[in-house]
Amino acid sequence: MFSPQKFAKECGLSYNQVLQMCKTKEINALETEGGHFKIPPKELDKFKNSDHVSKDEYLKVIRENERLRTVIEQFKNYVLNLKIG
């Protein structure tokens, strides 16, 4: 059985993301009497074979989007400042 912390580390997700997924039943976790979640190993296999995006992959896309936004803004300013004729 995995703790949410261990599961998050194995999948490259944040602890809070895994915890939320346990609460919303996206991950089939068992809840102990103390309110802690335990995640069966089969969930790790199921999760790794799904289309969920890891935290690192998500951050990479965000950085690329920000870079593209900057390039587009710079190009827009360049075109607007061109003097025609």
14-30 pLDDT, tens per residue?
Answer: 899 899 999 999 899 99
- Do 10 and 45 reside in the same domain of the chain? yes
Q: Is the pLDDT of residue 83 over 90?
A: no
Rounded alpha-carbon distances, angstroms, from residue 63 to 18, 35, 43, 46, 69: 23, 36, 30, 28, 10
Which residue range forms the structural domain that includes residue 71? 53-85
Based on the domain organization, do 60 and 79 belong to the same domain? yes
Which of 9-23, 49-63, 69-83 has the lowest average pLDDT? 49-63
**pLDDT of 12:** 79
Q: Are 23 and 39 in contact (CB under 8 A)?
A: no
Q: Are 24 and 18 in contact (CB under 8 A)?
A: no
HSE (side-chain half, CA atoms, 13 Å) at 20: 5
Let me know whether 2 and 38 are in one domain.
Answer: yes
